[in-house]
Amino acid sequence: MEENRRKWIISVATIAIIVPVSLMVLSLNGFFSQSPTPEGITVETVTWEIERPSEMLGIHQIAENIYTNEEASLNLTIYLDDYDEECGMYGGYDSLAMNVSVAAEVGNGFVKNVNITFYNDTQPSQVRWADWYRLNGRLHYTGQFENLSVADYSQYRESEQYMKASTNLEGINKPSAVYFNTPMHWILRTANDKSHQITVASEITYNNGTAYKRVVLPIVLRVIADADDSFETARTISFGNHTAFIHWGDDPEDYYRIWLDQNQVINIQLSMPEPPSGLYLDLYLYSPDGSLVANSTSRKPDSIEQITYTINQSGNWYIRVLNLPSGYNLYTLSIGAEQP
């Protein structure tokens, strides 16, 4: 009898331990979760890049990542405003000024929140929310906020931080549309010959009327060191548009290497942004053995240079951009090809 009683006590004690532990494990695994993790979608990354300038100048370009489905329209837009060489505000480091904006609209539901993060530069850099500060315990922000309030934000003084800056914005009164736009500074704490790359991601959580969804829109911003001044150190590129910098003193020529296939008819165009800067840029094409095969060197300032050429052997061809002593500017090299 005594033995049975002991067994009974041990059994109860065992159940008393096993049941709560099981429940805890199940709940840790999300088994009883009241609000399941929203369906997550990460949109393909958009990359924007520019060659690192050695002077202060306007950039005025847009990088944009858009996601639209039948229930929502979302976008992250970065307006690259200008490049501030040796910026006095940031201890003489270069700074890239930009405006970051997020727009989200849900047809039949609401936007819950928007999180924006800047992360992953392998070189020392900082990201600052321009003119966001705390005064007497209150937060002050510059920017446009439509149906959004700032729940939190962070930015790091330590240049080595993996995460550079972030903010959490909450939808006000279950809004069907939100908009956010604020100026930011990306401070490059390196010498001019270093390349930087940072990821900007907006994570938008919305409710479509029945369930929550979370969409991540990433944009990678790259600032690349000068495309050097020789065949040996030429930067490898592919088709598309490439924005670069040229300077009569520091950086008078740029070399590019590109793989081209036999019988491709390629079109190379060299242009400069408005307003006119009075530069004379020349464009040259070299075959894989380094022989000059085509050029465009009009003697009019600010002219568009263009080469169309039928490739007679597959290999690494070379493109050279040359600036006669005439100032500095950004330029865009556009390369396209058609098969015969």
Q: How far is CA 103 from CA 67, 123, 218, in A?
A: 11, 30, 14
How many residues sit in the footprint of Ca ion (CB under 5 A)? 5
Q: Tell me whether residue 185 or residue 320 sits nearer to Ca ion (CB atom).
A: 320
Angle at 212 between CA 74 and CA 162, to 5 degrees: 65
CA 269, CA 253: separation in Å to the nearest integer?
Answer: 16
Mask 215-254, x = binds Ca ion (CB under 5 A)? -----------x--x---------------x-----x--x
Place of tokens 């928007």: 114
**With 0-12 CB in 10 A as exposed, 13-18 as middle and 19+ as buried, what is 300?**
exposed
CA 51, CA 227: separation in Å to the nearest integer?
Answer: 7
CA 45, CA 169: separation in Å to the nearest integer?
Answer: 22
Q: Tell me whether residue 93 or residue 245 sits nearer to Ca ion (CB atom).
A: 245
Q: Tell me whether residue 206 or residue 245 sits nearer to Ca ion (CB atom).
A: 245
The nearest distance, CB 309 to Ca ion, in angstroms, is 23
The nearest distance, CB 298 to Ca ion, in angstroms, is 20
Type of residue numbered 208: N
Cβ atoms of 186 and 48 within 8 Å: the answer is no
- β-bridge mates for residue 146, sequence order: 179
Q: Tell me whether residue 105 or residue 253 sits nearer to Ca ion (CB atom).
A: 253
The nearest distance, CB 252 to Ca ion, in angstroms, is 7
What's the alpha-carbon Rg for the chain, to the nearest Å?
Answer: 28
Q: What is the DSSP letter of 272?
A: -
Phi, psi of 314 (to 5 degrees): -75, 140
Q: Tell me whether residue 76 or residue 246 sits nearer to Ca ion (CB atom).
A: 246
The nearest distance, CB 147 to Ca ion, in angstroms, is 43
CA 104, CA 111: separation in Å to the nearest integer?
Answer: 7
Within positions 253 to 282, which residues make up the interface with Ca ion, using CB under 5 A? 254
Q: Tell me whether residue 277 or residue 308 sits nearer to Ca ion (CB atom).
A: 277
The nearest distance, CB 182 to Ca ion, in angstroms, is 31
Q: Tell me whether residue 250 or residue 261 sits nearer to Ca ion (CB atom).
A: 250
Instruction: From 51, 73, 76, 44, select the one nearest 63 (Cα to Cα).
Output: 76
The nearest distance, CB 229 to Ca ion, in angstroms, is 5
The nearest distance, CB 334 to Ca ion, in angstroms, is 16
The nearest distance, CB 246 to Ca ion, in angstroms, is 5
Phi, psi of 300 (to 5 degrees): -105, 135
Within positions 282 to 321, which residues make up the interface with Ca ion, using CB under 5 A? none
Q: Tell me whether residue 113 or residue 323 sits nearer to Ca ion (CB atom).
A: 323
Q: CB count, 10 Å around CB of 268? A: 24
Structure tokens at 225: 């060191």
Instruction: From 274, 264, 267, 272, select the one nearest 334 (Cα to Cα).
Output: 267
Q: Tell me whether residue 164 or residue 196 sits nearer to Ca ion (CB atom).
A: 196
Q: CB count, 10 Å around CB of 280? A: 19
Cβ atoms of 130 and 183 within 8 Å: the answer is yes
The nearest distance, CB 237 to Ca ion, in angstroms, is 13
> Which positions touch Ca ion (CB under 5 A)?
226, 229, 245, 251, 254
